[in-house]
Amino acid sequence: MANYTADQFIGKTLIALKNISAYNGHPKSNSVTMIIKGAIIGSVFSWVKDPDDAANVYWQFQKNGRIFFVRHNVNDVGLHPSESVDTVEDKKKKEREEKEKAEKGLIPYYIEKYGKPVLLLSTAALAVKAYAVYARNK
């Protein structure tokens, strides 16, 4: 299961995966607008926890000076295909790699990471070439 934090979605464009309700002014408002399936909801401006259930999150959008909220549900709301968000694990992996690069330096880091495969492939290519020359001259 992918892990994300809500702040990673700030500035990301979300789309409606099915017909959903958008609450005008504040979460759980009586003033509701319907957003149809496939429509772009907008760019996430902020997020708030559900006042009655802290496990639920509402995405906050601002469009034409109007503020509205959409309840997060993975089956209802999704990232626009042109957007991406790294999982927490991906983010930690990138941070570890950056730390290694800073500690070791770029050249030693890349030699350690890619040196063995490059050396093995080069050796194999030379062996194949040497065999081809040997077989041709035989």
Give the model's confidence band at 85: pLDDT under 50 very low, under 70 low, under 90 confident, else very high: low
Burial of 91 (0-12, 13-18, 19+ CB in 10 A): middle
Residue 73 has pLDDT above 90, yes or no: no
Can you give the pLDDT at residue 16? Answer: 92
Both structure tokens of 91: 């983010």
Residue 28 has pLDDT above 80, yes or no: no
Residues 15 and 41 in one domain: yes
Domain annotation covers residue 117: yes
Give the model's confidence band at 1: pLDDT under 50 very low, under 70 low, under 90 confident, else very high: very low
Domain annotation covers residue 40: yes
Provide the whole-model pTM: 0.56
Q: Which domain holds residue 27?
A: 6-79
Give the model's confidence band at 119: pLDDT under 50 very low, under 70 low, under 90 confident, else very high: confident
Per-chain mean pLDDT for the chain: 83
Strands (E), 50-92: 57-63, 66-71, 77-79
Domain final residue, candidates 30, 59, 79: 79
Can you give the pLDDT at residue 88? Answer: 63
Q: Give the mean pLDDT of 36-54.
A: 86
Burial of 69 (0-12, 13-18, 19+ CB in 10 A): buried
